[in-house]
Amino acid sequence: MVIKFGTSGWRGVISREFTWERAMAVVDAIAIRLSETGHSSIAIGGDCRFLSPELADATAERMAGYGFRAYVSERSVPTPVLSHACRKMELGGVINFTASHNPPLYNGIKFSPFHGGPADSRDTARIEELIVSASVPETRTGGAVVISDFITSYLEDINEFIKVDTFKKTDSLRVVYDAFSGAGSGVLDKKLIELGGFVRVLNGKRDPLFAGRQHPEPNEQCLKDLSESVLRSGASLGVATDGDADRFGIVDENGVYVTPHDFMALLVDYLAESGHTGRVVRSITTGSLLDRVAESRGLEVLVTPVGFKYLGAEILKGGVLLAGEESGGLSLGTHVPEKDGVLAGLLAAEMVCHYGEGLGSLLTRMWAVHGRFYNTRLDLTLDPVMEEQIREKLFNSDMREAAGLPVRRIDRIDGVQLVFDNDTWVLVRLSGTEPLARIYVQSPSLEENERIAVAMAAEFRKN
């Protein structure tokens, strides 16, 4: 069974694909790759999944045996905290045991090189090559295991990216935080309390089964308990992070889910109003409201393929204000080149403190100025005939009309995006791991989104 790295590491079902032996084979390949690039230190950690803490400890011992100075987290740790530690301590990279938002049966490994962001294709291709050849690093002296507190330094330095005085001006910030039984517990809530907020934590204890969640992703479907808690308690805001706290979810003061599309547009407007400048970078699946807001503030917008490794690469180039994607990941240009759900939650709370009102009210005003879009996704299960239809009609030709609408522009940054009038579009991407076509749609109404998605699916079913 071949080990392949995706856009954010390697993942698999525990004991079927993801085994201890295979995980250690990946660790060995990473050790060789780090040695090839002249590095001899590493940050190691993991989330709250089954075996993550044990794998992290064993990896630290293994890396020390190869002559590395291995800094291993003393507790389960968010992905962005490991990224911060790597950069601050000028280490060679990060080995992180996590499967992020995947179901509880999964675990995985994220590898980041010295810059703390997702590894690029050169690194992952070399690691895959070393795994196939079953290469083993040389045993060396001089290595050591250092048990480390990465979180304290992260929480101190995060003050550079928030306005502490804004939090201090109010004593009415009340936040409900759903930690998803993950590594964000004791990090985001700790900082909010330090800043003077009142915080109620849901699912704050480690649970590798994620309190029964089959898909532990902080999206609308998984945040119903958070919404209810916000409404019952009269909280100012509800925030959530996934298992490794790189993704965020937000509920407004009315218990209504705030999409990443809307939240990032609101955040860019707030940052620009506060005097910040720079490019706004988004993945192609992220909604156009962000573009409208950025352009109204005189900010350039850059669109990338899906995957934070592309957004992180733009952050590393410099000059970025915010980089974000529709799946709930963002970072600021002077922060880590990695998704940070903790920072997203803090910035949401900061906006509530600054304006003295909830995100729901702020969004209503924004929509009145810039218009409102709805962004939806349909996962279409494919048979070989349907996949051939998609490739022939969409990928290998230029459609002039789709879903009864004239196509004004076609973008092929990632998949195929058909752009219609009025910032309405449909994007089709083929999964690299499953027989699925993902159909993303944007329009001014949910009904139109559904009509377009259904029409596209019907088109692909035609023989």
pLDDT digits (tens, 9 = 90+) for 247-301: 999 999 999 999 999 999 999 999 999 999 999 999 999 999 999 999 999 999 9
Q: pLDDT above 70 covers what percent of the chain? A: 99
DSSP 204: -
Specify the pLDDT at position 463: 62
Asked if residue 7 has pLDDT above 80, the reply is: no
* pTM attached to this predicted model: 0.95
| DSSP strand pairing (10-13 vs 106-113) | antiparallel
- How far is it, in rounded angstroms, from Cα 313 to Cα 10? 19
Nearest to 325 by CA among 335, 310, 345, 347: 310
Residue 12, beta-bridge partner list? 107
Q: What domains, with CATH codes, occur in the chain?
A: 10-150 (3.40.120.10), 162-277+338-370 (3.40.120.10), 374-461 (3.30.310.50)
Specify the pLDDT at position 6: 81
Residue whose entry in the numeric block shows the structure tokens 């962005």: 80
CB 305 within 8 A of CB 110: no
| Average pLDDT of span 325-351 | 97
User: From the centroid of its chain, how far is CA 387?
Assistant: 28
- Within 10 angstroms of residue 307's Cβ, the number of other Cβ atoms is 18
Residue 103, judged by CB atoms within 10 A of its CB (0-12, 13-18, 19+), counts as middle
DSSP 156: H
Q: What average pLDDT does the chain have? A: 95
Residue whose entry in the numeric block shows the structure tokens 């070989």: 384
Work out the pLDDT band at 433, boundaries 50, 70, 90.
low
Work out the pLDDT band at 107, boundaries 50, 70, 90.
very high
- How far is it, in rounded angstroms, from Cα 448 to Cα 372? 13
- How far is it, in rounded angstroms, from Cα 192 to Cα 173? 9
Specify the pLDDT at position 362: 98
| Average pLDDT of span 318-346 | 97
| Residue 270, CA atoms < 13 Å, CB-side half-sphere | 22
- How far is it, in rounded angstroms, from Cα 325 to Cα 161? 19
pLDDT per residue over 280-294, tens digit each?
A: 999 999 999 999 999
Specify the pLDDT at position 431: 80
Asked if residue 459 has pLDDT above 90, the reply is: no
Asked if residue 415 has pLDDT above 70, the reply is: yes
Hey, is 200 helix, strand or coil?
strand
Residue whose entry in the numeric block shows the structure tokens 């030709």: 397
Specify the pLDDT at position 215: 86
